[in-house]
């Protein structure tokens, strides 16, 4: 027997045997894709009415068979998209995916509830579920490469999820906190300018909600502070941080974070004074007396009760005496 004939015989045997031993044939359904189904259950989950099909999906969901729940619910949406049962079916698709640990796809399916069925009672719950998914990604959960392989946390994409939640309903129950989380995600990216912008938007839009407004103001000051410390000392960011934290202490004197804000203000003013003192010394060494006086005075204004301020006052007096002597 030739080798070619032997190969053909083996292929034929395999082709005959595989169907006999395959417990889960691959079945394609338009709109649902390829799925594996056991031979004895093939098609048994399909129903001819939307209500009955949704019942199958719900029963599967209750039994924690989320794969079947998703397929059965997807058939409701595909076959009866305008039925009263479609919004609940779409929600079941999303919820099943979420419980299958496929959060990014679940988020997108909740988005379909919001966009396709804006008057549904499932919209509020879909927004809440989207928010919970966003929190998991903010806490470091990984996005999936090609929707399969866990890759890396991505704070840019996470900020985008929260932006979508806010855009879905700017005055929904979850929107104020979602707006704050946009800033938190940008902070984790070290994009402090974008973080401040997000917090300022929260403060502007939700100024009548003290908890949100106070949190936005404090976080804005903190982002300015981090920006000031990020690389070389940034005097402008430090000044902004002092200004924002001062507003925070003034507007919310009973807030438990006031002592922390005051400590940061003191620290930043000390750092500002140190920088001004160094600049003043630079001018003084080069006998640029007017410039030296300006920056020594800055030291006194920035940190008036410090030892450095006392030194600055002494230098101011000495420079003025020098100038008077020179003029005489």
Model confidence at 292: pLDDT above 60: yes
pLDDT in tens, 273-291: 887 888 888 887 888 888 8
Tens of pLDDT, residues 31-75: 445 555 544 444 689 999 999 999 999 999 999 999 999 999 999
CA nearest to 166, candidates 120, 210, 211, 212 = 212
The mean pLDDT value for 107-130 works out to 97
Measured N-to-C along each axis, helices 210-230 and 175-188 cross at an angle, to the nearest 10 degrees, of: 10
188-243 pLDDT, tens digit each? 999 999 999 999 999 999 999 999 999 999 999 999 999 888 755 567 888 899 99
Helix, strand, coil share of the chain (percent; to 5) = 70, 5, 25
Strand partners, 65: none
**pLDDT digits 0-9 by tens, 8-38:** 555 555 544 444 444 445 455 554 455 555 4
Q: Are strands 26-29 and 33-36 parallel, antiparallel or unpaired?
A: antiparallel
What are the structure tokens assigned to 215, written together? 């949190």
pLDDT of residue 295: 83
pTM: 0.78
């Amino acid at each position: 027997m030739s080798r070619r004939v032997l190969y053909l015989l083996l292929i034929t045997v395999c082709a005959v045997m595989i169907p006999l031993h395959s417990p889960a044939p691959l079945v394609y359904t338009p709109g649902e894709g390829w799925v594996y189904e056991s031979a004895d259950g093939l098609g048994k989950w399909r129903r001819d009415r939307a209500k009955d099909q949704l019942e199958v999906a719900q029963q599967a969901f209750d039994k924690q068979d989320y794969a079947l729940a998703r397929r059965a619910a997807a058939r409701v949406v595909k076959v009866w998209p305008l039925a009263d049962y479609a919004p609940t079916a779409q929600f079941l698709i999303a919820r099943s995916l979420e419980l299958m640990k496929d959060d990014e796809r679940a988020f997108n399916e909740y988005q379909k509830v919001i966009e396709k069925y804006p008057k549904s009672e499932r919209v509020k719950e879909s927004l809440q579920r989207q928010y919970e998914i966003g929190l998991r990604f903010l806490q470091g959960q990984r996005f999936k490469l090609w929707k399969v392989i866990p890759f890396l946390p991505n704070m840019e994409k996470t900020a985008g999820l929260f932006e979508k939640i806010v855009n879905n309903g700017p005055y929904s129950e979850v929107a104020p906190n979602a707006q704050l989380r946009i800033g938190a995600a940008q902070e984790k990216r070290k994009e402090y300018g974008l973080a401040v912008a997000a917090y300022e938007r929260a403060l502007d839009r939700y100024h009548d909600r003290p908890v949100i407004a106070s949190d936005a103001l404090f976080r804005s000051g903190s982002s300015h502070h981090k920006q000031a410390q990020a690389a070389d000392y940034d005097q402008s960011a430090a000044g902004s941080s002092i200004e924002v934290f001062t507003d925070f202490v003034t507007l919310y004197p009973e807030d438990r974070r006031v002592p922390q804000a005051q400590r940061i203000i003191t620290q930043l003013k000390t750092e500002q004074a140190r920088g001004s003192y160094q600049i003043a010394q630079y001018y003084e060494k080069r006998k640029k007396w007017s410039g030296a006086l300006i920056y020594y005075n800055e030291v006194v204004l920035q940190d008036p009760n410090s030892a450095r301020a006392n030194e600055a006052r002494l230098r101011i007096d000495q420079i003025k005496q020098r100038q008077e002597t020179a003029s005489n």
